[in-house]
Structure 1
Amino acid sequence: MYPISTRSAALLGAAWAASLATHAAAQNDASGPTNTETNAQEQDSNDIIVTARRRSESAQDIPLAVSVIDAKQIDETGAFNVNRLQQLAPTLQFYSSNPRNTAVNIRGLGVPFGLTSDGFEQGVGIYVDDVYYSRVASATFDFLDVAQIEVLRGPQGTLYGKNTTAGAINITTNQPSFDFEGRAELSLGNYEFRQARLALSGPLSENVAARVAFSGTSRRGTIRNLTTGQDIQSLDNLGVRAQVLWEAADNLKITLVGDYNKQDANCCGSVFVRTGATQRPLNRQFAALAAAQNYAPPSDNPFDRVTDLDSQLNAGNVIAGASLRLVWDIGPGTFTSVTAWRYWDWKPENDRDFTGLSIVALSQNPSQQNQYTQEFRYAYTGDTFDFVLGAFAFDQRIDTQGTEAQGRAASRWNIAPGNALSLDPTVLDGLTARNTQSLESTSLALFGQLSWKVTDAFTIQPGARLNYDRKAGFYQRRVFTGTGAELTGTETDARSRAQLAVFQPQVSSPEDTDWNLTYDLTLSYELAPDVLAYGTYAKSFKTIGINQNGLPTDANGQPIAAAGTIRPEKVDHFELGLKTRFWDRRATFNLAAFRTDIRDYQATVNNGQFGVLRGFLANAGKVRSQGIEADFNIRPSERFTAYASGAYTDAKYVRFVDAPCPPELAGGTTATAGQTPSAPGTPGGISPANCDISGQRLPGVSKWAFSFGAEGNVPATFLGKSGEAYLGYDGSYRSNFSSNPSPSAYTFVDGYHLSNFRLGFRSDDGLNIFAWVRNAFDENYFEQLFVGPGNTGLIAGLPGDPRTWGATASITF
């Protein structure tokens, strides 16, 4: 057991002890309905209440594609973070090689797939109790005391503070109560998995209530690093959230919230998967380079789950913040003010050559973010008209201090074998790039949406948004040799030129501003009681982006200044939907068909050089995502429930004629006018300067995705308590998807199916004990595949979790 796990285990034990101590007090508290009891009442009526449109409504009554996951489903399926949430929501895609390099997409859209740049916006907005989390990396926390999660699909810019082009994840936590209540949970499992969660709420005075929640998770890693003797891809997460509610008047509530989350995992690594032929000369491809250094990967079977990474790994992540929410009920409407500050501190260490050789000896880009937001919103509800009017201000500052260093094996790997310098390890050993980056981003918006009930059955819902954005960045790379001498980029000797071929000094200060006016229109009609049809058109946008990781260079090695900024995305979204309830509302069946066209799509572009640029942003001509989604739920009685959700998504580049080439078409001599590029994977061949990938699939999205499950229960008595014994199953399936921005034959992830089971007992007074197994059939699958740097043909991967099992006990009081 590792020290970090010992620390977490102590915290978990303390939380469980606290929960037992408080349970006795709860038995004597004659309290009114708790949050849990209120949720149960809503479930008994087979009606799910959401706040997707900034007011409480039935999910079946709103003309919007939304998936709702309640606290019970989150807790019992082990979906304790956004990554695991995608198994319950087939239109959601989550990919992460580490917290910073995380993508959350809906319908294949949101953020470009690949290494993350701070210079672009995310297309999927993440909100926790009305507070916007600007970077996906700052939302990789464990869910803490969550009441409900709503996954909204399609543009949401006329309802939410920050513009979102693909959708939003709206997370609602349990609020402070004036009746004493609480919940405690402890889970234990294989891989030394330990998780404890505790929430307590109650009054501090007649008009002040508080709620405190704690979560701790630890698990040893699932991949063995033979070089260090450690298990990597571990978990060590700690989260605390505190809320104080002041009912200042009968119609005025003020809530102060503070949270702190820390992650300290031995993470994040990869395993060797395979090699694929590129167009590099044969003696510069992986097999020849590895043989020249007497190197072989520890296993050619990635599901042996072994690696030999020789660089230090770390994924230190601190996420914290505070918010002040004021809700003022003024007659027919409600005024809401949300003032928030968010902080993110990222301390990574990586092995970017994916091998046990010291090629890239150091790769780390620590970042610190401070974010301030202010949202004002007025929501009115009337007999004929409902509307929401809002104003939003956002200010963000990100600072990054990057260090990348070459190791003793770098000369052989990066300098052509025919060059005598390739045999001298001192040429590149210790060559270091020190990168300084900063970003200042400001966004201001006015937004609103109106619902006009033309008749009892027919509603017209227009919306509009006016947005202003400003981004200003700074990037500087200074290059130092192993002896500490700084290179200016003007050196002409052979040794210096070999070093400058790996790292070039560079300075850039991209800056831009932009105004956007967008709008949407939804028409809905109640065809019959509990049958709602709707159609939506949205004209949306994603604002300007800037290249924060350095600029691409021209043939002379000079930065291309015009690449400093990228144009906004222009989004046209169409959707038709049908929402139905039948069998006395025991069953629901919803359909949605959509098409989203994006011009000037903001794509991630990668080149194959070590350290020069890992990736930058560029505009693709046009992309399209279209498909059909279906959701079915049935609850014929209190003894049985079942659900099934499915999505067909056809997401592709409509036009991208100058994209980077996949590895099998890269690495050779660049074709000149009149030359025909060689066939894919021809060693020493002729490579196109760019590739036309029009018509090919967008990365990260499966054409077919399904989630399905059921639970049955029977009356039972256990430990002298009456209740129900239950058996539950949750399954998910995703077809294959591309794991590279330019589709490659080497980086398609095969489709996979996961099955999770649980067996347990729930008492009538709040006790829940169950055993669980996840990935029950031990499916071998990848979360991502990576193209190794240098275009040597190396493909590395991140295997998904193997079979895990354990038990959970919780008590609600």
Structure 2
Amino acid sequence: MKLGNNLLKAAMLSTISIASLSVGSAAFAQDNTPQASDEADDNVIIVTATKREQTLQEIPVAVTVTSAETIERAQVRDLIDLQTVAPTLRVSQNQTSGNAAFSIRGFGNGGNNTGVEPSVGIFIDGVYRSRAGSGISDLPNLKRVEILRGPQSTLFGKNASAGVISIVSQEPKYEFGGSAEASYGNYNALVLKADVTGPIAENVAFSLAGGINKRDGYATIINTGEKSNERDRWFTRGQLLLEPSDTVKFRIIGDFDRIDENCCVAGNVLDGPTGGVVRLLGGAVNSNNPFDYRVNANFATTNEMDNYGGSVQGDFELGSLSLTSITAYRGSDSSYVNDADFTSAAILDSVTEDRKIRTFTQELRLASDFDGPLNFLLGGYYFNEDIEQQGSVAWGAQSRGYVDGLVQGATSGALSIPLLEATFGALEGAPGRYTNKFLAKGQGLDENYTLKDEAWSIFGTVDFEITDRVTLTGGFNYTKDKKKFTTDVISTDIWSGVNFDAAAYAPFRQELLYKGGLAAQVGSASGLGRSATAAEIAAFAVAQPVVFGAINTGVTAFAAGNANNVALNPLNTLKPLQFLPPYLNLPNSVEDGKSADDDLSYTARIAWKATDSINVYASYATGFKASSVNLSRDARPLLADRAALTAAGLTLSNQSYGTRLTNPEKAKVFEVGIKGNWDQASFNL
């Protein structure tokens, strides 16, 4: 059994199987019988990676197939566990249960930002899961999992620039049966799963499945004694299979799963210079061993996630043509709270995030099964998604002391938070304006974001058999994707809103330039190799009054002439410590909060059946993923919009620039492969 997402921990765990039973048609049995033959062959695996049934060795695509038997034997509970049996797949779980990053062949992206779709597409029974977190629930009654490497948009219709994970579950059976599983392991790991299937009428069958997955945490929060990295999940799933005739079939699926657990701890890699400040505040910093599972925090990270939805798939046989329709609606609600400073000091009170995702998809496919050399697949895909996300980040009781320590460290003790409060207030004509106001407990950011995404695509492939052994394939996908997003982020952090370049602070900047310049010049003239102290400056003035007079005159002029020079502002070293500056919301008169992308992707492939046992293929494919939206407090307007924003009077204090969107993602893949299959062995290269 695998705990969390750490393989080293998994290797240390033990699991005792208490009960496992199967009645009638086994829940985990795989149909390995080729469609073209009545004889069963245990060395043949039927896959649908190209939306057609082919054997694994015949299909001219780089695909890894994990059978139900392998999944059961390896105790694969969810998508995170799949990497243990699929060598080119890597799944990493970040600081929350629902933030998983999927990569195939090293290509992929994380799930921390809700506005970013994965480069690795996840499909469960043909239904696209737009966010990785909505696909990590336990996987019941699996038939197989197909992992397709490289761009796949000519077959799946949705973003899949790095690859696809296609999960296929068992259909309901017309024979009563079921299975149950119970296992217990260390850390009180408990897994219970059961399912039942059978007929309702002559042409109607059903299946029901459910289970729980619980385990105590194996990580310890040292200062509170709490446990983290626990499991607490349950799921339920129901299906109906309706076959009113030999040429019509409907499959209706509904599911719900819930996660409510404390996860996940974050280990240190490097104890940086801020660690000393944390210790001065009486706090503790995690060790530099990220695998000791002993950390410091004020509370355990909590995660709650509900994933639910339903789909209706209709298959219609129209002579030599088959029509497939998949209509689906998905919902995902998640919430988490964590101590994001990852120390026992009260620097941050908490960081929270609540998000709701609602997704509707519709896919239509028409496929041919002609006797001649030419066959095709043509499809259309529609995607509509609404996202609402709220969050907050708030300073804690020790935030003021923490930043004060950083300020003193950056200025060698010359400046401090109290000194800056008094100075800025006095220069603004209100001496008490900022007293004890910088970095006060509870100040921070309140965040609200929305994203609406509407996309459609037309896709298809054509197979042409040049000879009995050579097949040429061409495919295309035209996608149109439009996004509209809004932000409503409010900063209450007074310290981060102070403009160190303000004209009112010119006398202070001039004084700092003078003192700093004088210390540097006297130190150089004295051969100290550093800036001189106040006592050393006084002694130098007495010992060498002429030289000191010249230095003083030059430094005075320099300070007066550069008091308003932003590039030489002596407070520039403190600007990076203004962690939560005011946020420019959109849409506004310059930024419309919209994106529109379109692309034509294509695939060309030639496959050669060299012998009855060896198949060779070569392909070239392009992939596409539309622009993604940065739904976070770090999203900033483009530098190219600076002039327009300034002219419109929209720029805020300490306005910074970056990006609100990523550029579209495009991929180009050349590939050659050879597959061999014999009675006693097979290989893929």
Q: 1:242 to 1:490 in 2, by over 3 A?
A: farther
- Matched to 1:457, the amino acid is R
Report the alpha carbon displacement of residue 224 of structure 1 after superposing the two structures with TM.
Answer: 0.9
Which has the larger share of strand? 1
Counterpart in the other structure of 1:678: none
- What TM-score results when the alignment is normalised by the length of structure 1? 0.64
Match of 2:108 in 1: 110
Match of 2:684 in 1: 590
The residue number in structure 1 matching 2:531 is none
Q: Name the CA shift for 1:36/1:317 in 2 (closer, same or farther; >3 Å).
A: closer
C-alpha separation in 2, matches of 1:76 and 1:234: 23
Check conservation: 2:614, 2:674, Cα contact below 8 A.
Answer: yes
Residue 601 of structure 2 is matched in structure 1 by: 518
Is 1:567 the equivalent of 2:663?
A: yes
Structure 2 counterpart of 1:702: none
The residue that corresponds to 1:391 in the other structure is 380
Q: Alignment partner for residue 365 of structure 1, among 324, 339, 353?
A: 353
Partner of residue 365, structure 2: 377
Counterpart contact for 1:474–1:508, Cα < 8 Å: yes
Higher relative contact order, chain-length normalized (CA < 8 Å, sep 6+): 1
585, 590, 598: which one aligns with 1:507: 585
Q: Give the structure 1 partner of residue 337 of structure 2.
A: 349
Deviations 1:399-443 (A, max 9, x none): 001110011221232341243326998631211210010100111
What corresponds to 1:408 in structure 2?
397
Residue 252 (structure 2) aligns with: 256
CA distance in 2, matches of 1:100, 1:491: 42
- 1:500 to 1:251, Cα distance in 2 relative to 1, 3 A: same
User: Relative to 1, partners in 2 of residues 1:570 and 1:422: Cα closer, same or farther, differing over 3 Å?
Assistant: farther
The Cα of 1:223 is off from its aligned counterpart by 0.4
Which residue, 161, 165, 171 being the options, matches 1:165?
161
Deviation at 1:302, TM superposition (A): 4.1
| SS state at 1:565 partner | coil
Partner of 1:750: none
Name the count of aligned residue pairs: 551
Aligned positions of 1:615-764 closer than 5 A: none
Contact 2:189 2:214 in 1 (8 A): yes
Match in the other structure for 1:557: 654
Identity between Structure 1 and Structure 2 (%): 30
Q: State the Cα deviation string for residues 698-755 of structure 1 (Å, max 9, x = none).
A: xxxxxxxxxxxxxxxxxxxxxxxxxxxxxxxxxxxxxxxxxxxxxxxxxxxxxxxxxx
Cα distance in 2 for partners of 1:490, 1:326 equals 64
**What letter corresponds to residue 207 of structure 1 in structure 2?**
N
Q: Call closer, same or farther: CA 1:298–1:434 in 2, change over 3 Å.
A: closer
1:479 matched residue in structure 2: 491
Residue aligned with 2:108, SS? coil
User: How far has the Cα of 1:546 moved from its partner?
Assistant: 2.6
Aligned counterparts of 2:26 and 2:377: Cα–Cα separation in 1: 29
TM-score (norm 2): 0.75
Aligned residue number for residue 55 of structure 2: 58
1:83 matches 2:166: no
- Any idea what the Cα deviations from partners look like across 1:97-139, whole Å, max 9, x if unmatched? 124432101111122x5x6323333211111111000111111
Q: Is the 8 A contact 1:545 1:565 kept in 2?
A: yes
Distance in 2, matches of 1:530 and 1:540, equals 31
Counterpart contact for 1:412–1:425, Cα < 8 Å? no
Q: C-alpha offsets along residues 623-676 of structure 1, whole Å, 9 cap, x if unaligned?
A: xxxxxxxxxxxxxxxxxxxxxxxxxxxxxxxxxxxxxxxxxxxxxxxxxxxxxx
**C-alpha distance in 2 between matches for 1:55 and 1:498:** 56
- 1:409-558 paired onto structure 2 within 5 Å: 409-415=398-404, 416-417=407-408, 418=413, 419-421=415-417, 427-428=438-439, 429-480=441-492, 501-509=579-587, 510-550=593-633, 551-552=635-636, 557-558=654-655
1:316 aligns to 2:314 (yes or no):
no
Distance in 1, matches of 2:52 and 2:180, equals 30
Q: Displacement, 1:499?
A: 9.4
What is the Cα deviation at residue 503 of structure 1? 3.5
How many Å apart are 1:488 and its aligned residue?
A: 10
CA distance 1:172–1:87, shift in 2 (3 Å): same
Q: Residue 39 of structure 1 aligns with which residue? A: 31
Q: Is the 8 A contact 1:256 1:322 kept in 2?
A: yes
Give 3-state SS (helix, strand or coil) of 2:489's partner: strand
Q: Counterpart in 2 of 1:782?
A: none
Distance 1:313 1:471 in 2: 32
Deviation, 1:249, is: 1.7
Distance 1:368 1:427 in 2: 34
2:228 aligns to what? 232
Contact kept? 1:129, 1:171, Cα under 8 Å: yes
Secondary structure of 2:582's partner? coil
Does the CA contact (< 8 Å) of 2:497 and 2:581 recur in 1? no
* Structure 2 Cα separation of the partners of residues 559 and 472 of structure 1: 22
Structure 2: tracts of 5 or more residues without a match? 1-17, 35-39, 420-434, 506-573, 588-592, 643-652
- 2:328 aligned to which of 333, 340, 343: 340
Q: What code does the residue aligned with 1:104 have?
A: F
For 2:575 and 2:45, the matched residues in 1 are separated by 65
- 1:35 shift after superposition: 6.3
Q: Unpaired segments of 5 or more residues in structure 1? A: 1-15, 277-284, 592-813
- CA RMSD of the aligned region, Å? 2.9
Helix, strand or coil: the match of 1:158? helix
CA distance in 2, matches of 1:212, 1:573: 41
For residues 437 and 543 of structure 1, what CA distance do their matches in structure 2 show? 19
Amino acid paired to 1:588:
S
Amino acid at match of 1:557: N
Q: Report how far residue 227 of structure 1 moved.
A: 2.9
Residues 425 and 127 (structure 1), Cα distance of their counterparts in 2 relative to 1, 3 Å cut: farther
Q: CA contact under 8 A between 2:320 and 2:368: conserved in structure 1?
A: yes
The structure whose Rg is larger is 2
Report the CA distance between 1:481 and its aligned residue: 5.4
